[in-house]
């Protein structure tokens, strides 16, 4: 295998992993605060359609990215109001949010089907990425570098800052955090907004960078993979990065193997590979542990109300 | 008139009726013929359902006030389809088109409940007194683009993004490869099974993988234009699927197999109007106007263009069948004797690959 192909595979791998990484990182913070938002796919879709609509109408991909963040937050706020202020069931509301996102994005996007825009280009000038190996380092767009910075940022935030400690406290024991005087609901609102912003941005990565167009259900289920990755990572940003790239790698190698003519493996088996890998790692992680908790925040999914 | 503007039409109609009472009843004697459609996807999918909706629009253009069309989109295959069909039947439609394979059983079921109505099911094989089936010979279009691919590919390798190994897809792969190998006997078609009809990001990644592995022409049997965008980005050629997708890849898009149902729909509505409608099975190709080729890109060389047009002419004239013997499959089994052409039954059950396919 020559280096040109290898670098090309790396580029594809990174691009395929980035939207999942973004959405999963947002959800990780949400879950760390004790909230389970299953509406990731829905928020990704509204982000994707808003990003495309604005980028197409204004001609600016940057404005599209901003719009996708706003749309993601707006969608997440529906979930926040229902589950935090009205203490609705989080699982049911999250699922409903996904269904809502599919429908709403389809409605908004109806007028943009069949249109295309110039995709989000590499961040660094062409000169830096002239050599194949340099391209693997400097040939990506801004969202890729942003997602990596965010992983570092979230990791530092959760483990090294006071605000991160409070967020984790809210997720581990909401009643105690409330008793000490922390605004549990307010902190969870903020976490859900952050999750919505990153899911929206992840969705826009499809409509602005990967496949610069709008079509119904553009994200094709990546939001669910992001949710699984959070569990896979045991709520640790570093491991989330690893998981997202591993998943992207398996997806990319699956296609490369088929293109390279490895036909003795049934296509269905190859299509299962990413999911099999997920199950395998999850099993291995829980092997060697006495509790089956996998380090989930203790208050995950439990409604909280001040009474 | 479409059902989307029903309310407005209703108001307009009421106004007209109230201002024109003197015209008498004769003006209203001929009620418009109701024609209903159910689609599996959104009309905005720019693919399969969109092409059927183009057919519906052609009906409106052709017959104007004599008909009234309506459609229900995003109908899930299965029980939901029965409900949608029943709804159209009860709304007074006399001819109903069910435009996806998975609508087969619901269509048969609902047709039994409404024996006076006529039903048409696309791509199915179950028929009844009042249920006809229709399909298009897309493999004829594949033979034309295969010819172009054979001429345009420098590496002699095409990448084919396929959905599922069902006969419809397998016959397309074979027709494409056979045509390309007539031009370049060493031509190879590398197939990636995406195991989905629709996943834009995966389709794009599949295209990239195929290009990495040496393919310089990409074609697909999945629904989104994402593979074309990937081809455009990497500077190789590609073909559109179901509709002209050149807007997504102005340089890469050499041509596209375009589905055109309008001719069939116009004919069947006429049959209902003059009472000659009969159940049957129609499998139309390029000759019948079911399958068309999108305008060729300027990049298509004169030689490729001439060869493609010749294949197209041959198919229309009936002198060329994409599957003509002597034809052996990959395992060396003789499938067609010299001079023999594939029967429709053979095509609809095809589960073997010709030489040159890497699947």
Give the pLDDT confidence score for residue B137 in this predicted structure: 95
B117 vs B164, which has greater pLDDT? B117
Answer yes or no: is A294 within a domain. Answer: no
Q: Is the pLDDT of residue B170 over 80?
A: yes
Q: What phi and psi values does residue A157 have, to the nearest 5 degrees?
A: -60, -50
Of A109, A213, A255, the CB nearest to B206: A255
CB contact under 8 A, B205 and A211: no
**pLDDT tens figures, B219-268:** 999 888 999 999 999 999 999 998 899 999 999 999 999 999 999 999 99
Give the pLDDT confidence score for residue A288 in this predicted structure: 61
Q: Is A8 on the interface with B (CB under 8 A)?
A: yes
Residue B143 contacts residue B347 (beta carbons within 8 Å): no
Give the pLDDT confidence score for residue B79 in this predicted structure: 87
The minimum CA-CA distance between B296 and chain A, rounded to whole Å, is 19
In this structure, are B129 and B143 located in the same domain?
no
Residue B299 contacts residue B237 (beta carbons within 8 Å): yes
Give the pLDDT confidence score for residue B50 in this predicted structure: 87
Q: Tell me how far apart the alpha carbons of residues A81 and B280 are, in angstroms, rounded to a whole number.
A: 56
Q: Is B196 on the interface with A (CB under 8 A)?
A: yes
B24 vs B287, which has greater pLDDT? B287
Q: How many domains does chain A have?
A: 1
Residue A235 contacts residue A32 (beta carbons within 8 Å): yes
For B248-264, b/e burial (b = at least 16 CB within 10 A) is bbeebbbbbbbbbbbeb
In this structure, are B236 and B163 located in the same domain?
yes
Give the pLDDT confidence score for residue A269 in this predicted structure: 77
Q: Tell me how far apart the alpha carbons of residues A232 and A222 are, in angstroms, rounded to a whole number.
A: 15
State the average pLDDT over residues A17-22: 97
* Lowest mean per-residue pLDDT among A143-152, A276-285, B238-247: A276-285
Domain extent, residue A20, equals 3-286
Give the pLDDT confidence score for residue B30 in this predicted structure: 66
Give the pLDDT confidence score for residue B45 in this predicted structure: 67
Q: Output the six-digit token pair for A38.
A: 């299953």
Answer yes or no: is B276 within a domain. Answer: no
Answer yes or no: is B277 within a domain. Answer: no
Query: What is the pTM assigned to this prediction?
Result: 0.85
- Average pLDDT, rounded, for chain B: 89
Q: Provide the 10 A C-beta neighbour count for residue B331.
A: 8
* Lowest mean per-residue pLDDT among A104-108, A111-115, B135-139, B157-161: A111-115
Instruction: Tell me which of B136, B152, B170 is where a domain ends.
Output: B136
The interface predicted TM-score (ipTM) is 0.87
Q: Is the pLDDT of residue A291 over 80?
A: no
In this structure, are B111 and B191 located in the same domain?
no
The minimum CA-CA distance between A70 and chain B, rounded to whole Å, is 23
In this structure, are B226 and B349 located in the same domain?
yes
Give the pLDDT confidence score for residue A292 in this predicted structure: 55
Answer yes or no: is A164 within a domain. Answer: yes
The minimum CA-CA distance between A81 and chain B, rounded to whole Å, is 30
State the average pLDDT over residues B67-92: 92
State the average pLDDT over residues B263-277: 95
Domain extent, residue B171, equals 139-259+291-358
**pLDDT tens figures, B175-188:** 999 999 999 999 99
Q: Is the pLDDT of residue A106 over 60?
A: yes
The minimum CA-CA distance between B286 and chain A, rounded to whole Å, is 25
The minimum CA-CA distance between A35 and chain B, rounded to whole Å, is 29
Of B42, B190, B213, the CB nearest to A216: B42
Collect all residues of chain A within an 8 Å Cβ-Cβ radius of residue B191. 258
In this structure, are B195 and B122 located in the same domain?
no
Q: Is A99 on the interface with B (CB under 8 A)?
A: no
**Burial class of residue B77 (count of CB atoms within 10 Å of its CB; 0-12, 13-18, 19+):** middle
Q: Is A215 on the interface with B (CB under 8 A)?
A: yes
State the average pLDDT over residues B262-288: 95
DSSP states of B27-41: GGSSPPEEEEEE-SS
CATH code: domain of residue B118: 3.40.50.2300
Q: Is A115 on the interface with B (CB under 8 A)?
A: yes
pLDDT > 70: percent of chain A: 95
Comparing alpha-carbon positions, the chain B residue that sits nearest to A263 is: B359
Collect all residues of chain B within an 8 Å Cβ-Cβ radius of residue A122. none
Answer yes or no: is A300 within a domain. Answer: no
Q: Is B128 on the interface with A (CB under 8 A)?
A: no
Q: Is the pLDDT of residue B282 over 50?
A: yes
* Lowest mean per-residue pLDDT among A76-90, A253-267, B289-303: A253-267
In this structure, are B132 and B99 located in the same domain?
yes
Answer yes or no: is B193 within a domain. Answer: yes
Of B46, B213, B247, the CB nearest to A260: B213
Comparing alpha-carbon positions, the chain A residue that sits nearest to B192 is: A258
pLDDT interval class at B28 (50, 70, 90): very low
Answer yes or no: is A171 within a domain. Answer: yes
CB contact under 8 A, A215 and B45: yes
Answer yes or no: is B32 within a domain. Answer: yes
Mutate to test the interface with B, among A41, A112, A255, A270 (most CBs of B within 10 A): A255
* Lowest mean per-residue pLDDT among A45-49, A266-270, B256-260: A266-270
Q: What phi and psi values does residue B96 have, to the nearest 5 degrees?
A: -125, 130
Q: How many domains does chain B have?
A: 2
In this structure, are B58 and B131 located in the same domain?
yes
Q: Is B235 on the interface with A (CB under 8 A)?
A: no
CB contact under 8 A, A206 and B190: no
**pLDDT tens figures, B299-332:** 999 999 999 999 999 999 999 999 998 999 999 9
Nearest to B56 by CA among B47, B46, B67: B67
CB contact under 8 A, A259 and B210: yes
Grouping H, G, I as helix, E, B as strand and the rest as coil, residue A206 is helix
In this structure, are B67 and B111 located in the same domain?
yes
The minimum CA-CA distance between B211 and chain A, rounded to whole Å, is 9
In this structure, are B160 and B236 located in the same domain?
yes
- Cβ partners under 8 Å of residue B174, min gap 6: B139, B323, B350, B353, B354, B357
**Cα within 13 Å of Cα(A113), Cβ side:** 22
Q: Output the six-digit token pair for B130.
A: 């009042």
Outline where DSSP puts E strands in chain B.
33-38, 67-72, 95-98, 118-122, 131-136, 157-162, 188-193, 217-220, 237-242, 253-259, 281-284, 291-293, 327-328, 334-336, 357-358
Of A212, A221, A255, the CB nearest to B209: A255
Q: Tell me how far apart the alpha carbons of residues A169 and A298 are, in angstroms, rounded to a whole number.
A: 10
In this structure, are B248 and B125 located in the same domain?
no
Collect all residues of chain B within an 8 Å Cβ-Cβ radius of residue A215. 44-46, 198, 200, 224-225
- Rounded to 5, what percent of chain B is helix, strand, coil? 45, 20, 35
Q: Is the pLDDT of residue B46 over 80?
A: no
Q: Is B233 on the interface with A (CB under 8 A)?
A: yes
In this structure, are B305 and B196 located in the same domain?
yes
Give the pLDDT confidence score for residue B134 in this predicted structure: 95
> Taking a contact as any Cβ pair under 8 Å apart, which residues of chain B between 75 and 104 contact chain A?
none
Grouping H, G, I as helix, E, B as strand and the rest as coil, residue B336 is strand
Instruction: Tell me which of B118, B136, B154 is where a domain ends.
Output: B136
Comparing alpha-carbon positions, the chain A residue that sits nearest to B42 is: A216
Q: Is A1 on the interface with B (CB under 8 A)?
A: no
Residue B314 contacts residue B330 (beta carbons within 8 Å): no
Collect all residues of chain B within an 8 Å Cβ-Cβ radius of residue A113. 42, 44-46
Q: Is A107 on the interface with B (CB under 8 A)?
A: no
Q: Is the pLDDT of residue A202 over 90?
A: yes
pLDDT interval class at A289 (50, 70, 90): low
Answer yes or no: is A292 within a domain. Answer: no
Q: Is the pLDDT of residue B4 over 80?
A: no
State the average pLDDT over residues A257-268: 78
Terminal Cα distance for chain A, rounded:
64
State the average pLDDT over residues A295-305: 88
Q: Is A110 on the interface with B (CB under 8 A)?
A: yes
In this structure, are B167 and B227 located in the same domain?
yes
Of A216, A256, A261, the CB nearest to B212: A256
The minimum CA-CA distance between A128 and chain B, rounded to whole Å, is 19
Of A211, A213, A258, the CB nearest to B193: A258
Collect all residues of chain A within an 8 Å Cβ-Cβ radius of residue B208. 8, 12, 255
**pLDDT tens figures, B62-73:** 999 999 999 998
**pLDDT tens figures, A55-73:** 999 999 999 999 999 999 9
Q: Is B159 on the interface with A (CB under 8 A)?
A: yes
The minimum CA-CA distance between B8 and chain A, rounded to whole Å, is 21
Q: How many CB pairs under 8 A join A and B?
A: 114
Answer yes or no: is A16 within a domain. Answer: yes
Answer yes or no: is B22 within a domain. Answer: no
- The DSSP secondary-structure symbol of B235 reads T
Collect all residues of chain B within an 8 Å Cβ-Cβ radius of residue A210. 200-201, 204, 226
Collect all residues of chain B within an 8 Å Cβ-Cβ radius of residue A217. 198
């Amino acid at each position: 295998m020559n280096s040109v192909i290898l670098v090309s595979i790396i580029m594809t791998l990174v691009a395929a992993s980035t939207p999942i990484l973004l959405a999963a990182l947002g959800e990780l913070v949400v879950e760390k605060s004790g909230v389970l938002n299953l509406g990731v796919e829905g928020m990704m879709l509204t982000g994707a359609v808003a990003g495309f609509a604005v980028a197409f109408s204004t001609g600016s991909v940057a404005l599209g990215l901003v719009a996708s963040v706003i749309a993601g937050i707006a969608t997440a706020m529906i979930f926040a109001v229902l589950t935090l202020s009205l203490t609705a069931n989080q699982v049911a509301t999250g699922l409903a949010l996904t269904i809502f996102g599919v429908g709403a994005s389809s409605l908004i996007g109806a007028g943009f089907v069949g249109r295309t825009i110039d995709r989000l280009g590499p961040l660094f000038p062409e000169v830096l990425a002239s050599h194949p190996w340099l391209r693997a380092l400097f040939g990506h767009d801004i969202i890729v570098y942003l997602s990596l910075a965010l992983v570092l940022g979230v990791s530092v935030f959760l483990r090294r800052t006071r605000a991160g400690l409070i967020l984790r406290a809210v997720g581990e024991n909401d009643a105690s955090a409330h008793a000490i005087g922390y605004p549990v609901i307010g902190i969870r609102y903020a976490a859900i907004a952050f999750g919505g912003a990153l899911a929206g941005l992840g969705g826009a990565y499809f409509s602005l960078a990967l496949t610069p167009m709008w079509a119904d259900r553009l994200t094709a289920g990546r939001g669910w993979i992001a949710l699984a990755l959070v569990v896979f990572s045991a709520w640790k940003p570093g491991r989330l990065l690893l998981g997202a790239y591993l998943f992207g790698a398996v997806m990319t190698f699956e296609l490369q193997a088929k293109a390279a003519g490895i036909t003795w493996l049934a296509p269905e088996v190859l299509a299962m590979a990413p999911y099999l890998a997920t199950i395998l790692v999850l099993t291995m992680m829980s092997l060697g542990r006495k509790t089956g908790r996998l380090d989930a925040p203790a208050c995950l999914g439990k409604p909280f109300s001040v009474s | 008139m479409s059902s989307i503007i029903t309310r407005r039409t209703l108001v307009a109609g009421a106004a007209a009726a109230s201002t024109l009472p003197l015209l008498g009843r004769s003006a209203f004697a001929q009620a418009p013929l109701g024609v209903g459609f159910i689609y599996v996807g959104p009309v905005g999918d720019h693919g399969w359902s969109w092409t059927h909706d183009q057919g519906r629009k052609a009906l409106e253009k052709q017959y104007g006030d004599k008909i009234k069309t309506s459609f229900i989109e995003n109908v899930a295959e299965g029980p939901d389809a029965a409900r949608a069909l029943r709804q159209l039947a009860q709304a007074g439609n006399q001819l109903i088109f069910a435009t996806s394979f998975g609508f087969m059983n619901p269509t048969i079921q609902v047709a039994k409940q409404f024996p006076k109505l006529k039903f048409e099911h696309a791509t199915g094989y179950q028929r009844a007194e009042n249920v006809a089936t229709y399909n298009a010979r897309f493999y004829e279009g594949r033979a034309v683009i295969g010819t172009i691919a054979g001429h345009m590919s420098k590496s002699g390798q095409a990448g084919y993004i396929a959905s599922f190994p069902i006969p419809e897809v397998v016959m397309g792969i074979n027709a494409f490869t056979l045509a390309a190998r007539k031009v370049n006997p060493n031509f190879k078609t590398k197939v990636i099974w995406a195991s989905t009809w629709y996943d834009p990001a995966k389709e794009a990644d599949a295209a990239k993988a195929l290009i990495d592995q040496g393919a310089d022409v990409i074609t697909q049997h999945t629904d989104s234009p994402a593979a074309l965008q990937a081809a455009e980005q990497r500077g190789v050629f590609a073909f559109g699927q179901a509709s002209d997708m050149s807007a997504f890849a102005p340089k890469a898009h050499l041509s596209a197999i375009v589905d055109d149902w309008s001719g069939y729909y116009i004919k069947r509505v006429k049959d209902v109007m003059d009472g000659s409608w009969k159940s049957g099975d129609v499998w139309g190709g390029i000759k019948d106007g079911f399958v068309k080729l999108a305008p060729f890109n300027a990049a298509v060389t004169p030689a490729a263009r001439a060869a493609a047009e010749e294949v197209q002419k041959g198919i229309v004239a009936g002198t060329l069948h994409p599957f003509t013997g002597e034809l052996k499959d990959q395992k060396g089994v003789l499938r067609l004797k010299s001079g023999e052409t594939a029967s429709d039954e053979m095509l609809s059950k095809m589960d073997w690959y010709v030489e040159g396919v890497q699947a």
